[in-house]
Structure 1
Amino acid sequence: MPTTHHIAQFNVARMLAPLDTPTMIEFVAGLDPVNELADGAPGFVWRLTGEDEGVPSSTDIRPYDPESIVTMSVWETPELLWEFVYRSGHLEYLRRRQDWFHHLAEITQVVWWLPAGTIPTVAEGKKRLDHLREHGPTPYAFTFRNRFPAPTGEAEEQAAVA
């Protein structure tokens, strides 16, 4: 049975230093391998890439401030996204995040359901993250830990948008 919804994720991180400094050299060196890993992972649908054509990562997109970078991707299921994040070579970089990024007291990642075939915008990711920060997990914006099921009907989908 075809999936009617996919899961989107958006996160923000505040860098310890500019990307072109020694502090960030290992992070930058890992961008292409981790992105290639994502692109080939089971359940991968789409990821945000640079604003300039040919930029393979989203590090040039700074919707919050010059020190913050974002990632956004779409996956077939939350389980497949979880597998990529926590059970692939991505985990090595995730474990080292304190080497490259400030610890932020606020929530930095949000997930949400979207109709299959839909590509989210950075503005939507920001809106969902802001909603999660203000209201906690809801069907509109939630976390891995506090997931909601995919909408099953139009009424449920409309309620999730509110």
Structure 2
Amino acid sequence: MDREILFHLSRDGRLTNVELARRVGLTPPPCLRRVKRLEEAGVIAGYRAVVDPEALGRGLEVLIDVEISAQDRKSFGEFEDIVASYEEVVEFRRMYGRPDYFIRVAVADHAAYEAFLSDRLSGLPAVLRIESHLTMKEIKTSYGSS
């Protein structure tokens, strides 16, 4: 039952408790108790709106692989702090193996990406190699199919 609740809330976090209960075959009070328990247990970590990047002037999304030259903890930490502070960065992960990092940025256009790459990312001292990937077509995202 909890999995069913999570399935429906992950598709539409704005469902009313009454509608959610109807979809999962419960009455509203036990459904609400289950949702509250899932929230308290941290299974439901939060609710958010999916915002159209075009509406924010960030219609170009670029996926970036980054390898860094230094392998010490201090260099990793400094690199991570700097990159995480950039507002263009919408996702940032340290990876096992190569590349060292995966970065997803959202910018207005190609000129904005070039400026981000030239003025910010490639100028960092630890950066060894950068590989950019532009999306041809989104097939599936965390918030559904395109």
Task: Please identify which structure carries the higher strand content.
Answer: 2
Relative contact order higher in (CA < 8 Å, ≥ 6 apart): 1
Q: What is the TM-score when the length of structure 1 is the normalising length?
A: 0.37
**Greater C-alpha Rg:** 2
Task: Please identify which structure carries the higher helix content.
Answer: 2
